[in-house]
C-alpha cells in the first residue's frame, strides 16, 4: 500500500460542520497535524440549517438541566471568543393567555438552578422592550439569549485550524474508510471537482459527520444509529424583533423567533423522517402553515411580513427509543470510542449535542484523541479568541472618543463587512471606489469583500460565496447580485462556462428555499428573476 | 371623466392598444401603476422563438399551429395573426421606433451569454444576424467601461469563443464616468446612459473605441446608449469606423426605457391621457358591463368609458397576485385560470416549465373578461395577463402583447361602429 | 355595484418596503442621483436601506438629507413602494443633524414672511442688492444667484379682510381656501384671482381659522416638532371647516395641498382622514363642477395664448395635472402643450442653499432648454417654487393656471350663465 508520509496526519476529521471545524481547531491548537474533509462546503448540513440561536439554555432548563447548564457556559464563552459572530440581543420567554403561568415559576427556578440569569419582568415593560411581541402577553422572563451566525462561526473555526497548520479539503467526499486489521488508518476521498480519488492516512479518524455520521460509521463497519428528526424554519424578509422571543412552555412547534443579521427566523417543526431522505428534504405546505400560524402568536406582525425562504435541517440526535417527535431525547453530547465499543481502533465518533455546545464537543473529542496519542496538551479553545473576534479592551472615555474620531466615515459596505468579518475585515481591499462598489445591494457586499472571500475564505463556487458574505441572502435572493458575483468568480477562473453553470446552480439553490413560500412578492420576484436570467441572459440549467 | 376606452396597464400591450385606438380617433386613457416591464426589454420582440420541446424555431408562423388550443395565438387564430402582423411595423414606425426583422423567419441576436438567440423584431440599436450565416466576424473587440458591473464580458467572450470567434476583452475608463463611480450602487446602465445623453462625451468615446478596436472586424459594447436622447446610438454608430454590436445588460434596459418613452409620447401626442403612478381600486359593474372605474389618485372622480381593457401584465407586474390561498386578479377579482393548491403552482426545478407562468384571467372567445362565470361584454383582456402561454419558455411575450392588443383594438372599434 | 378588493392583507410592510423586487426603475427617475453621486439613490436609501436600518441604526446615512422628496421614485415604482416616504421617515427617525440658522430661516416661510411683508420695500430692495446677496451667501450659505421672491406690501389676508370678507357669505355655495405662505406674503394676486373665479361660479371663499404654513419646508429641513405643531393646528382648522361647517377646502399650490393631504399622515403620523378627501386643488374642484355640468365658464372672446404646462413633482405624485390642463384647454384660444414631466430642481428650499445651487440648476437644465426652445406666452404650473426656479432660469414668465383662467374669464357672463344671485345683506 502506498503510504506517503507527507500525506499522513495525526488526525483526520470527517465533516466540515461546526463540530468538525471546532474539533479541527482544537486538535490543531494542541499541536496535532490535522486534515479536515468535507463533502460539500463548510456548514452545509445541520450547522447552517437551524435558528442560529445563541441559547442561554433556558429552553432546556425544565426538561434537560444538563444541556441547559452546558448551554449557558458555552454561551458566555462564545460571546467572548466569537464576538463577531454573535449578536447579544437577549431573549424573552413570553406567556400568552392560553399558557400556564405556573410554568413560569418552575421555569425561572430551573433556570436559576442551571446558572442561567432569568428575570421575570412586567408585561408592560416586555411590550416596550419588544414592540413586536404579542401584546396579549401575560408574563415575560428575560434571559441572556442571542443569535449566532453559524456560517461565520464555522468559518472562524476552520480559519483558526488553518492558522494552526490544519489542512482543509472541501468538496471531498469520503468514499471509504481504510482499515488495517482492527484499526482505521485512513480515508478514500473523491474530489468532486476533478473526480479524482485520493487517499489520506492518519493515526486517528474522527467521525464528525453529524447525521451523515451514521453513514460514515457504516463505511468503517460500525453502527451508530442516528435519529433523523427534521425541523423546518421560515426566514422573514427583515428583522422583525429586537430580542429573541420564545414561548414560556414546554418546547413545541414554532415557538422561537430569532433575529439574526438582516432577517428573523421562526422555527421549528419536528418530524421523524426516514434516514434515506436526509439529503432531499423539502418543507411541506403543512409545515409552512404551522410555522406561520404559531409564529403569529409570538409576533402578530409576522402575518403581514414577507417570507423570504423556507428550509429544513436534520437534528443529529442519537437514537435511543422510539419517540416519534425526537423532542424528548437529550441534546446531550455523545462521544463514542469505537475501540472500546466495537473493537475498531483509531476511530471515534463525536455527535449529538448542538450548535451551542460544539466547542465542548470538540474539547471532549480532542481530549480523547490526545489521550490515544499520549499527548498532554490542555484545551485552550475557551480562552483563545477566534480569528475576527475583537479583543475587548477595558472601557475608557479616551478609548471610546479616539475610536469615534479616528475612524473615517465608513461606507455602507464597509460597515456591513466589519459586522460580518470583525477584525479580519482589515484584509478586505475596499479603499478605492471600484472595490467599494456593491455586488449585493440588499446586504451591502462589495467587490472588495467578494474578492477577499474568493481569495482567502475557501470558496469553490457561488453558493460558498453566499455563505461567506451573505451575497444573495437579501430580499431579491440573487436577482441582481448573482451574475455580478459570478463575473468576479469568472475573473479568477480559467473556465467561464463552468461559472455559468455554477450561476444556474445558484439560482436553483435559491429557488429551493423559495418555492415552498412562492406567493406574494416571492412569486413576483422569481418571475422577474427568470425573465432576466433565462429571458434576457439566455442562461440554461447546464452546459452553458 | 369620460373616455371612449380606458386601458388599465401602460406597458407594451396597453400602449399598443391605446395608440391604435387613439390613431382611429378614440379618446383613450391609460392607468398605469408605475413604470412597465418595457423597462426590462432585451431589445428584441419575440413572436415564437422555441417550440414545446425547447428547440429553436425558424418559422414562427408555421410553429403556431403546434401550440395548445388554449394559447392566446390559437385563440386569436393564425390567419387573423397574419393580418395583424402587417399593423405592427407601421404602428412602431409612426411612433418613431425602428425595428428590423419579420415574422416569416426568425433572425438571430447575440445574448449576454455570447450565444445566438432567435427572435422576431429587434430595435435598430442592435445587430441582427442571418440564421444561414450567423456572426460574420472572426475577430471581435469586446469593450466595457471599467467599474460597470452589469455587463459580463467573460460570459459574452466565452460564448462567442465556443463558436470559434476570437474575442479580446478590453476595459477602459473615462473621466466623465468617474463621478457616478463615486456612488457604490449607481454605476448602472441608465446612469451611464444619462452621461452619454449630454453628448459631450461622445467624441472622446468614439475616439477611444476606434483606438481600442484597431485591427478588429467589429466591436461589441454594452447597450447603454440613448436613454432620453434618441440620437446617441446613431451618433456613435456613425463615428466608430467598424460595425458596432450592442449586447443587453442587467436591467434597467436603456433601449427599453427609450421605447417606453417613445410610445408614451406617441400616445400623448394622439390626445391620450396617461395616469402614471395611479391604480384602479374598484369598478362599477352593471350586469354584463363595466360602467366606470375609480382610481387611488382620482378618488371620487370616476373614469367612465364605453370599453375597458385589462393590460395589467403577469405576476411581476402585479397583474396577478398570489396569496397563500389563491391566485387572483387584484383589480376586479376576475375569474382566473390557475391550480387550486399552492403546491401545484410551482415546479421544484427553477429551469423547468413553471405552472404559474401559464396562469391568467379567463376570457371568452372574444377576449372578454369573465367575472363570476359571466362574460363582461365591454371589458377586454390583452397581453401577459392572458392565460395559456409560457411566454418565457416559448419566447412569445412581446408577440402576445402586441397581437392581442391589436386584435382587441379592432374588436373595440368594430363594436363602436355597430352602436 | 362597486367591486372592492376581496382578499386579506398579506406581506404588507411599513410603506411597502418589502414589496420592492429590486427592479431598479426608481433609480432611473431620481433627479438628484443624476447630478449628485453623494446621494445613495432611492433604492439604496429607501427599501434596501430600511432593511439595514431595522437591523442596526448605524446604517443610517446623513446623505439622505439630499433627497428632494419629489416622490418621482414612488410614481415610477411598479410595486407601490413608498420610497420617498421611507426616506423621509428615516430622516425623521434617525438623523442627528441639527438644522442650521439658515435652514431654520428658509423653513419658516410664514415667520419670515410676516416680518418681510411689514418691511417689504426695504426687504425687497435689500435682498435684491448684490452686496446683500453676497453677504447672505457668505454668512447664511444662501446662494447669491437666488433672488428672493418679492414680498408684497399687503398680505393676502389683509386684502381679504378689507376687500372680500364682507361679501363672501352672500354666495349660494361656500369653500375654504388654504392660501399658503406664497399667496399670503409674496403673491396675493393669485388669491385674488381665485376669489374672482369662485365668486363668478357662485362660491363664497372663506379663510381657515388662523391658517398656519403647511410645514413642507419645516419637514424637509428637519424641524419636525414645529411641523407637527402647525399640522395639528391646521387639521383642527380643517375639521372646523369640513366637519362643522360643511365647507370643503381648496388650494392653489400643489405642494401645500399634497402636504396637508398626504404628508401629514405619512410623515408626521397625524390622522386627517376626516378631512383628507375634502381637500383638493382648486382646478380639480372647478373641473369636477364642469364635468358634472353643474357650472359653465364663459370666457372673453379675444383670448389668444400659447402655453406650456410644467408638471410639478407633487402634482405628478397627486396625479392631478389633468385637471389643470383640461381647464386650460377649455379656454377658447389657448394653444397648450405639456412639457416633459421632470423636476425643475428647486424642490422648495433645496435650491436656495449654496451647496445645492449647481445641482439644482443641472437637474432642471433639460426642462429649461425645452422651455427656451418653445414659442410660448407663458409657462403654466401649479407650484410657486417651480415658478421662481423657471423664471430665474429661463426667459419665460410663469403663471398659475388659476391666474390664467381668471384673466380669461368673463366674470359677468359667467355669473349670469350660472344664475349666481347674491343673498341680500342682512
Chain B residues with CB under 8 Å of A521 CB are: none
Q: How far apart are CA B208 and CA B221, in angstroms?
A: 12
Q: How far apart are CA A532 and CA B253, in angstroms?
A: 11
Task: Indicate the pLDDT class of residue C7, thresholds 50, 70 and 90.
Answer: low
Q: How far apart are CA A299 and CA A283, in angstroms?
A: 22
Q: How far apart are CA C356 and CA A135, in angstroms?
A: 46
Chain A residues with CB under 8 Å of B345 CB are: 518-519, 523
Going by the DSSP 8-state scheme, the letter that residue A479 receives in this structure is: T
Which residue carries 480523547 as its cell? Answer: A368
Query: Are both A161 and A141 inside the same structural domain?
Result: no
Query: Are both A494 and A432 inside the same structural domain?
Result: yes
- In angstroms and rounded to an integer, the radius of gyration of the C-alpha atoms of chain C is 22
pLDDT tens digit sequence for B218-243: 999 999 999 999 999 999 999 999 99
Chain C residues with CB under 8 Å of A307 CB are: 11
Task: Indicate the pLDDT class of residue A431, thresholds 50, 70 and 90.
Answer: confident
Q: What CATH number does the domain containing A117 carry? A: 3.30.9.10
What residue of C is the nearest CA neighbor of B322?
C10
Q: Quick check: C11 pLDDT over 80?
A: no
Cell numbers at A28, concatenated: 490543531
Which residue carries 371620487 as its cell? Answer: B300
Chain A (432-491) residues lying within 8 Å, Cβ to Cβ, of chain C: 441-442, 444, 474-476, 479-480
Which residue carries 460574420 as its cell? Answer: B136
Estimate to the nearest angstrom the gap between the alpha carbon of C355 and the chain centroid.
Answer: 23
Query: Are both A436 and A496 inside the same structural domain?
Result: yes
What residue of A is the nearest CA neighbor of C13?
A305
Average pLDDT over residues A464-484: 94
CB atoms closer than 10 angstroms to residue C69: 23
Peptide bond before residue B252 is cis, with ω within 30 degrees of 0: yes
Phi and psi, residue C151, nearest 5°: -90, 135
Q: How many angstroms away from the CA of B127 is the closest CA of chain C?
A: 25
> In this complex, do B346 and A515 lie within 8 Å of one another by their Cβ atoms?
yes
In chain B, where are the structural domains located? Answer: 2-100+258-328+353-418, 127-247
Query: Are both A481 and A367 inside the same structural domain?
Result: no
Closest CA to A388 of A160, A200, A89, A232: A160
CATH class of the domain whose range is C156-291: mainly alpha
How big is the CA angle at B125 (ends B124 and B127), to the nearest 5 degrees? Answer: 80
The pLDDT value given to residue A250: 87
Query: Are both A284 and A367 inside the same structural domain?
Result: no
Interface with chain C: mutation pick from A441, A484, A536, highest number of C CBs within 10 Å: A441
Query: Are both A353 and A434 inside the same structural domain?
Result: no
What residue of B is the nearest CA neighbor of A497?
B158
- Which residues on adjacent β-strands are paired with residue C335? C306
* Sign of the C-alpha dihedral computed for residues A475, A476, A482 and A488 taken in this order: negative
pLDDT tens digit sequence for C413-424: 999 999 999 988
Chain A residues with CB under 8 Å of C9 CB are: 304
- C172 burial level (CB within 10 Å; 0-12, 13-18, 19+): middle
- Which residues on adjacent β-strands are paired with residue A247? A94
Q: How far apart are CA A71 and CA B61, in angstroms?
A: 69
Cell numbers at A126, concatenated: 416586555
> In this complex, do C18 and A521 lie within 8 Å of one another by their Cβ atoms?
yes
Cell numbers at A379, concatenated: 484545551
* Sign of the C-alpha dihedral computed for residues A279, A282, A287 and A293 taken in this order: positive
Least confident of B380-384, C135-139, C236-240, C295-299: C135-139
The yes/no answer on whether domain B127-247 falls in CATH 3.40.50.1860 is: yes
> In this complex, do C319 and B276 lie within 8 Å of one another by their Cβ atoms?
yes
- C249 burial level (CB within 10 Å; 0-12, 13-18, 19+): buried
Q: Quick check: A377 pLDDT over 50?
A: yes
* Sign of the C-alpha dihedral computed for residues B295, B297, B299 and B302 taken in this order: negative
- Which residues on adjacent β-strands are paired with residue B3? B305
Residue A28 structural domain: 5-45+151-225+332-373
Work out the percent of chain A whose per-residue pLDDT is above 90. Answer: 84
DSSP string, A282-335: ---HHHHHHHHHHHHHH-GGGGGSPEEEEEEEEEEEEP-S--SSS-SS---EEE
Q: How many angstroms away from the CA of A360 is the closest CA of chain C?
A: 31
Q: Quick check: A525 pLDDT over 70?
A: yes
Average pLDDT over residues B118-134: 95
Nearest to B251 among C1, C2, C23 (CB): C23
Least confident of A325-339, A362-376, A400-414, C8-22: A400-414
Chain B residues with CB under 8 Å of C84 CB are: none
Chain C residues with CB under 8 Å of A305 CB are: 11, 13, 18
Chain B residues with CB under 8 Å of A519 CB are: 322-324, 342, 345
Strand A197-207 with A263-267, pairing: unpaired
| Higher pLDDT, residue A136 or A430 | A136
Closest CA to A536 of B248, B89, C376, B26: B248
Helix H or strand E segment including B95: helix B78-95
Q: How far apart are the first and last CA of chain B?
A: 21
Strand B244-247 with A119-121, pairing: unpaired
Residue A433 in any domain: the answer is yes
The pLDDT value given to residue A317: 78
Q: Quick check: A321 pLDDT over 50?
A: no
Mention every residue, 6+ apart, whose C-beta is less than 8 A from residue C122: none
| Higher pLDDT, residue C147 or C249 | C249
Helix, coil or strand: residue A242: coil
Nearest to C319 among B190, B228, B297 (CB): B297
Q: How far apart are CA A378 and CA A13, in angstroms?
A: 19
pLDDT tens digit sequence for A156-185: 999 999 999 999 999 999 999 999 999 999
Interface with chain C: mutation pick from B1, B197, B277, highest number of C CBs within 10 Å: B277
Cell numbers at A36, concatenated: 479536515
Task: Say whether residue A237 is in contact with chain C using an 8 A CB cutoff.
Answer: yes
Strand C249-251 with C173-178, pairing: parallel
Average pLDDT over residues B4-23: 98
Cell numbers at A3, concatenated: 503510504
pTM of this prediction? 0.95
Helix H or strand E segment including A461: none
Q: How far apart are CA B2 and CA C326, in angstroms?
A: 12
Three-state SS annotation for chain C: CEECCCCCCCCCCHHHHHHCCCCCHHHHHCCCCCCCCCCCCHHHHHHHHHHHHHHCHHHCCHHHHHCCCCCHHHHHCCCCCCHHHHHHHHHHHHCCCCCCHHHHHHHCHHHHHHHHHHCHHHHHHHHHCHHHHHHHHHHHCECCCCCCCCCCCCCHHHHHHHHHHHHHCCCCEEEEEECHHHHHHHCHHHHHHHHHHHHHCCEEEEECCCCCCCCHHHHHCCCHHHHHHHHHHHHHHHHHHHHHCCCCEEECCHHHHHHHHHHHHHHCCCCCCCCHHHEEEHHHHHHHHHHCCCCCCCECCCCCEEEEECCCHHHHHHCCHHHHHHHHHCCCCEEEEECCCCCCCCCCCHHHEHHHHHHHHHHHHHHHHHHHCCCCCEEECCCHHHHHHHHHHCCCCEECHHHHHHHHECHHHHHHHCCCCCCCCC
Query: Are both A190 and A303 inside the same structural domain?
Result: no
Helix H or strand E segment including A25: helix A18-29
Residue A320 in any domain: the answer is no
Cell numbers at A58, concatenated: 433556558
How big is the CA angle at B322 (ends B321 and B328), to the nearest 5 degrees? Answer: 60
Residue A70 in any domain: the answer is no
> In this complex, do C40 and B183 lie within 8 Å of one another by their Cβ atoms?
yes
Task: Indicate the pLDDT class of residue A1, thresholds 50, 70 and 90.
Answer: very low
Task: Say whether residue A346 is in contact with chain C using an 8 A CB cutoff.
Answer: no
Q: How many angstroms away from the CA of B82 is the closest CA of chain C?
A: 33
Chain B residues with CB under 8 Å of A485 CB are: none
pLDDT tens digit sequence for C203-248: 999 999 999 999 999 998 889 999 999 999 999 999 999 999 999 9
Task: Say whether residue C369 is in contact with chain B using an 8 A CB cutoff.
Answer: no
Give the CATH number of domain C305-411.
3.40.50
pLDDT tens digit sequence for C311-363: 999 999 999 999 999 999 999 999 999 999 999 999 888 888 888 899 999 99
Work out the percent of chain B whose per-residue pLDDT is above 70. Answer: 100
Query: Are both A411 and A426 inside the same structural domain?
Result: yes
Which residue carries 426616506 as its cell? Answer: C87
Residue A191 in any domain: the answer is yes
Interface with chain B: mutation pick from A431, A471, A513, A519, highest number of B CBs within 10 Å: A519
> In this complex, do C54 and A524 lie within 8 Å of one another by their Cβ atoms?
no
CATH for the C14-94 domain, from 3.40.50.620, 3.60.15.10, 1.10.1060.10, 3.40.50.720? 1.10.1060.10
Q: In chain C, list all ranges with CATH 1.20.1050.
A: 156-291
> In this complex, do A442 and C40 lie within 8 Å of one another by their Cβ atoms?
no
Mention every residue, 6+ apart, whose C-beta is less than 8 A from residue C171: C199, C202, C203, C204, C420, C422, C423
Which regions of A319-451 does DSSP assign to beta strands (E)? Answer: 333-337, 347-352, 438-440, 445-446
Task: Say whether residue A261 is in contact with chain C using an 8 A CB cutoff.
Answer: yes
Query: Are both A531 and A495 inside the same structural domain?
Result: yes
Chain A residues with CB under 8 Å of B113 CB are: 500, 537-539, 544
Residue A169 in any domain: the answer is yes
Give the CATH number of domain B2-100+258-328+353-418.
3.50.50.60
Nearest to C52 among A444, A480, A520 (CB): A444
Q: How far apart are CA A453 and CA A370, in angstroms?
A: 33
Instruction: Give chain C's contact residues with A (Cβ, < 8 Å).
Output: 9-13, 17-24, 40, 43-44, 47-52, 54-56, 58-59, 61, 79
Number of domains chain A contains: 3
Interface with chain C: mutation pick from A132, A241, A306, highest number of C CBs within 10 Å: A306
Q: How far apart are CA B97 and CA B87, in angstroms?
A: 14
- Which residues on adjacent β-strands are paired with residue C4? none
Query: Are both A344 and A427 inside the same structural domain?
Result: no
What residue of C is the nearest CA neighbor of B303?
C291
Task: Indicate the pLDDT class of residue C120, thresholds 50, 70 and 90.
Answer: low
The pLDDT value given to residue A480: 87
Q: How far apart are CA B83 and CA A517, in angstroms?
A: 43
> In this complex, do A508 and B351 lie within 8 Å of one another by their Cβ atoms?
yes
CB atoms closer than 10 angstroms to residue A234: 28
Closest CA to A356 of A60, A104, A101, A96: A60
Helix, coil or strand: residue B142: strand
CA atoms within 13 A on the CB side of B266: 26
Chain A residues with CB under 8 Å of B147 CB are: 433-434, 437
Asked if residue A86 lies in contact with residue A113, where contact means CB atoms within 8 angstroms, the answer is no
Amino acid at each position: 500500500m502506498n503510504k506517503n508520509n507527507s500525506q499522513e496526519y495525526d488526525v483526520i476529521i470527517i465533516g466540515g460542520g461546526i463540530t468538525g471545524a471546532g474539533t479541527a481547531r482544537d486538535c490543531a491548537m494542541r499541536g496535532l497535524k490535522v486534515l479536515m474533509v468535507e463533502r460539500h462546503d463548510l456548514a452545509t448540513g445541520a450547522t447552517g440549517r437551524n435558528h442560529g440561536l445563541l441559547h442561554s439554555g433556558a429552553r432546556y432548563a425544565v426538561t434537560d438541566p444538563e444541556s441547559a447548564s452546558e448551554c449557558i457556559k458555552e454561551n458566555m464563552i462564545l460571546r467572548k471568543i466569537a464576538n463577531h459572530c454573535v449578536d447579544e440581543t437577549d431573549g424573552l420567554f413570553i406567556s400568552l393567555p392560553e399558557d400556564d403561568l405556573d410554568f413560569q415559576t418552575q421555569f425561572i427556578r430551573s433556570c436559576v438552578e442551571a446558572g442561567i440569569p432569568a428575570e421575570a419582568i412586567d408585561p408592560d415593560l416586555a411590550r416596550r422592550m419588544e414592540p413586536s411581541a404579542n401584546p396579549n402577553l401575560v408574563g415575560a422572563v428575560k434571559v441572556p439569549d442571542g443569535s449566532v451566525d453559524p456560517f461565520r462561526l464555522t468559518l472562524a473555526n476552520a480559519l483558526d485550524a488553518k492558522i494552526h497548520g490544519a489542512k482543509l479539503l472541501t468538496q471531498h467526499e469520503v468514499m471509504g474508510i481504510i482499515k488495517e486489521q482492527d484499526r482505521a488508518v485512513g480515508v478514500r476521498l473523491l474530489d468532486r471537482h476533478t473526480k479524482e480519488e485520493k487517499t489520506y492516512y492518519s493515526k486517528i479518524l474522527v467521525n464528525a459527520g453529524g447525521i451523515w455520521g451514521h453513514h460514515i460509521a457504516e463505511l468503517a463497519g460500525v453502527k451508530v444509529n442516528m435519529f433523523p428528526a427534521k425541523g423546518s424554519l421560515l426566514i422573514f424578509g427583515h428583522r422583525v424583533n429586537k430580542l429573541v422571543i420564545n414561548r414560556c412552555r414546554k418546547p413545541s412547534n414554532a415557538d422561537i423567533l430569532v433575529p439574526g443579521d438582516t432577517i428573523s427566523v421562526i422555527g421549528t417543526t419536528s418530524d421523524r423522517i426516514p434516514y434515506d431522505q436526509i439529503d432531499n428534504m423539502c418543507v411541506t405546505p403543512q409545515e409552512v402553515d404551522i410555522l406561520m400560524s404559531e409564529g403569529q402568536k409570538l409576533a402578530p406582525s409576522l402575518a403581514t411580513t414577507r417570507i423570504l425562504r423556507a428550509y429544513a435541517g436534520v437534528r443529529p440526535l442519537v437514537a435511543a427509543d422510539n419517540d416519534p417527535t425526537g423532542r424528548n431525547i437529550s441534546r446531550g453530547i455523545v462521544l463514542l470510542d469505537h475501540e472500546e465499543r466495537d473493537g475498531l481502533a483509531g476511530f471515534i465518533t463525536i455527535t449529538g449535542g448542538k450548535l451551542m455546545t460544539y466547542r465542548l464537543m470538540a474539547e471532549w473529542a480532542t481530549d480523547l484523541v490526545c489521550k490515544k496519542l499520549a499527548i498532554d496538551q490542555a484545551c485552550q479553545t475557551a480562552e483563545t479568541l477566534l480569528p475576527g473576534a475583537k479583543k475587548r479592551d477595558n472601557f475608557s472615555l479616551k478609548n471610546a472618543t479616539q475610536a469615534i474620531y479616528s475612524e473615517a466615515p465608513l461606507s455602507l459596505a464597509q460597515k456591513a463587512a466589519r459586522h460580518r468579518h470583525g477584525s479580519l475585515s482589515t484584509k478586505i481591499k475596499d479603499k478605492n471606489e471600484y472595490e467599494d462598489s456593491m455586488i449585493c445591494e440588499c446586504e451591502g457586499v462589495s467587490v472588495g469583500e467578494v474578492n477577499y472571500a474568493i481569495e482567502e475564505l475557501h470558496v469553490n463556487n457561488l453558493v460558498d460565496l453566499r455563505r461567506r458574505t451573505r451575497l444573495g441572502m437579501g430580499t431579491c435572493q440573487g436577482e441582481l447580485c448573482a451574475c455580478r458575483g459570478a463575473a468576479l468568480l469568472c475573473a479568477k477562473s480559467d473556465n467561464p462556462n463552468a461559472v455559468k453553470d455554477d450561476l444556474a446552480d445558484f439560482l436553483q439553490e435559491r429557488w429551493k428555499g423559495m418555492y415552498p413560500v412562492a406567493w406574494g412578492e416571492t412569486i413576483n420576484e422569481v418571475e422577474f428573476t427568470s425573465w432576466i436570467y433565462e429571458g434576457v441572459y439566455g442562461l440554461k440549467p447546464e452546459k452553458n | 371623466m369620460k373616455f371612449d376606452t380606458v386601458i388599465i396597464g401602460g406597458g407594451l400591450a396597453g400602449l399598443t392598444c391605446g395608440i391604435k385606438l387613439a390613431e382611429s380617433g378614440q379618446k383613450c386613457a391609460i392607468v398605469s401603476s408605475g413604470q412597465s416591464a418595457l423597462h426590462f426589454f432585451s431589445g428584441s420582440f419575440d413572436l415564437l422563438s422555441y417550440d414545446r420541446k425547447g428547440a429553436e424555431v425558424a418559422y414562427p408562423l408555421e410553429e403556431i399551429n403546434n401550440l395548445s388550443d388554449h394559447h392566446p395565438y390559437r385563440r386569436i387564430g393564425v390567419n387573423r395573426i397574419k393580418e395583424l402582423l402587417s399593423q405592427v411595423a407601421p404602428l412602431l414606425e409612426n411612433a418613431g421606433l425602428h425595428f428590423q426583422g419579420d415574422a416569416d423567419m426568425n433572425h438571430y441576436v447575440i445574448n449576454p451569454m455570447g450565444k445566438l438567440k432567435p427572435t422576431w423584431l429587434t430595435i435598430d440599436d442592435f445587430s441582427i444576424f442571418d440564421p444561414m450565416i450567423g456572426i460574420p466576424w472572426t475577430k471581435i473587440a469586446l469593450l466595457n467601461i471599467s467599474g460597470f458591473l452589469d455587463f459580463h464580458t467573460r460570459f459574452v467572450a466565452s460564448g462567442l469563443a465556443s463558436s470559434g470567434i476570437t474575442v479580446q476583452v478590453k476595459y477602459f475608463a473615462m473621466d466623465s464616468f468617474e463621478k457616478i463611480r463615486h456612488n457604490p450602487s449607481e454605476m448602472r446602465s441608465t446612469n451611464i446612459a444619462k452621461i452619454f445623453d449630454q453628448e459631450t462625451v461622445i467624441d472622446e468615446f468614439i475616439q477611444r473605441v476606434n483606438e481600442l478596436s484597431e485591427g478588429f472586424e467589429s466591436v461589441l459594447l454594452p447597450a447603454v446608449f440613448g436613454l432620453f436622447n434618441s440620437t446617441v446610438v446613431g451618433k456613435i454608430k456613425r463615428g466608430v469606423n467598424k460595425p458596432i454590436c450592442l449586447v443587453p445588460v442587467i436591467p434597467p434596459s436603456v433601449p427599453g426605457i427609450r421605447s417606453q418613452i417613445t410610445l408614451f409620447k406617441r400616445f400623448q401626442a394622439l390626445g391620450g391621457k396617461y395616469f402614471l403612478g395611479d391604480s384602479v381600486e374598484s369598478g362599477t359593474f352593471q350586469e354584463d358591463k363595466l360602467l366606470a372605474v375609480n382610481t387611488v389618485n382620482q378618488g371620487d372622480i370616476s373614469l367612465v368609458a364605453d370599453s375597458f381593457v385589462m393590460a395589467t401584465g403577469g405576476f411581476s407586474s402585479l397583474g396577478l397576485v398570489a396569496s397563500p390561498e389563491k391566485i387572483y386578479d387584484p383589480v376586479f377579482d376576475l375569474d382566473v385560470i390557475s391550480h387550486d393548491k399552492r403546491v401545484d403552482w410551482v415546479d421544484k426545478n427553477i429551469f423547468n416549465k413553471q405552472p404559474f407562468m401559464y396562469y391568467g384571467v379567463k376570457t371568452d372567445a372574444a377576449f372578454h373578461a369573465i367575472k363570476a362565470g359571466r362574460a363582461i361584454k365591454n371589458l377586454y383582456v390583452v397581453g401577459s395577463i392572458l392565460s395559456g402561454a409560457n411566454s418565457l419558455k416559448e419566447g412569445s411575450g412581446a408577440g402576445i402583447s402586441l397581437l392581442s392588443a391589436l386584435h382587441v383594438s379592432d374588436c373595440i372599434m368594430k363594436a363602436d361602429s355597430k352602436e | 355595484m362597486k367591486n372592492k378588493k376581496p382578499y386579506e392583507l398579506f406581506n404588507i410592510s411599513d410603506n411597502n418596503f418589502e414589496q420592492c423586487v429590486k427592479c431598479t426603475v426608481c433609480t432611473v427617475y431620481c433627479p438628484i442621483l443624476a447630478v449628485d453621486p453623494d446621494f445613495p439613490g432611492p433604492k439604496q436609501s429607501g427599501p434596501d436601506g430600511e432593511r439595514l436600518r431595522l437591523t442596526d441604526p448605524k446604517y443610517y446615512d446623513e446623505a439622505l438629507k439630499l433627497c428632494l422628496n419629489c416622490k418621482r421614485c414612488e410614481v415610477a415604482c411598479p410595486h407601490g413602494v413608498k420610497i420617498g416616504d421611507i426616506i423621509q421617515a428615516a430622516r425623521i427617525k434617525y438623523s442627528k443633524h441639527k438644522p442650521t440658522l439658515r435652514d431654520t430661516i428658509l423653513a419658516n416661510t410664514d415667520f419670515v414672511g410676516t416680518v418681510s411683508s411689514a418691511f417689504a420695500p426695504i426687504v425687497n430692495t435689500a435682498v435684491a442688492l448684490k452686496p446683500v446677496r453676497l453677504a447672505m451667501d457668505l454668512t447664511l450659505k444662501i446662494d447669491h444667484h437666488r433672488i428672493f421672491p418679492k414680498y408684497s406690501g399687503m398680505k393676502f389676508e389683509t386684502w381679504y379682510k378689507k376687500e372680500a370678507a364682507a361679501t363672501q357669505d352672500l354666495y349660494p355655495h361656500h369653500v375654504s381656501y388654504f392660501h399658503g405662505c406664497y399667496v399670503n406674503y409674496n403673491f396675493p394676486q393669485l388669491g385674488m384671482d381665485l376669489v374672482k373665479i369662485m365668486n363668478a361660479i357662485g362660491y363664497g371663499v372663506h379663510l381657515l381659522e388662523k391658517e398656519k404654513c403647511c410645514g413642507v419646508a419645516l419637514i424637509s429641513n428637519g424641524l419636525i416638532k414645529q411641523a407637527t405643531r402647525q399640522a395639528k393646528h391646521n387639521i383642527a382648522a380643517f375639521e372646523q371647516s369640513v366637519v362643522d361647517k360643511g365647507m370643503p377646502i381648496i388650494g392653489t399650490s400643489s405642494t401645500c395641498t399634497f402636504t396637508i393631504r398626504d404628508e401629514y399622515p405619512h410623515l408626521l403620523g397625524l390622522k386627517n382622514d376626516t378631512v383628507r378627501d375634502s381637500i383638493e386643488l382648486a382646478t380639480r374642484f372647478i373641473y369636477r363642477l364642469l364635468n358634472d355640468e353643474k357650472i359653465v365658464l364663459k370666457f372673453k372672446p379675444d383670448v389668444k395664448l400659447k402655453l406650456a404646462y410644467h408638471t410639478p413633482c407633487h402634482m405628478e405624485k397627486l396625479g392631478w395635472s389633468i385637471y389643470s390642463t383640461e381647464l386650460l384647454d377649455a379656454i377658447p384660444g389657448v394653444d397648450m402643450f405639456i412639457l416633459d414631466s421632470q423636476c425643475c430642481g428647486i424642490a422648495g428650499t433645496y435650491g436656495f442653499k449654496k451647496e445645492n445651487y449647481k445641482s439644482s440648476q443641472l437637474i432642471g437644465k433639460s426642462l429649461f432648454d425645452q422651455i427656451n426652445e418653445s414659442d410660448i406666452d407663458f409657462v403654466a404650473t401649479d407650484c410657486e417654487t417651480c415658478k421662481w426656479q423657471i423664471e430665474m432660469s429661463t426667459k419665460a414668465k410663469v403663471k398659475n393656471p388659476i391666474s390664467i383662467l381668471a384673466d380669461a374669464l368673463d366674470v359677468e357672463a359667467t355669473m349670469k350663465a350660472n344664475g349666481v344671485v347674491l343673498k341680500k345683506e342682512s
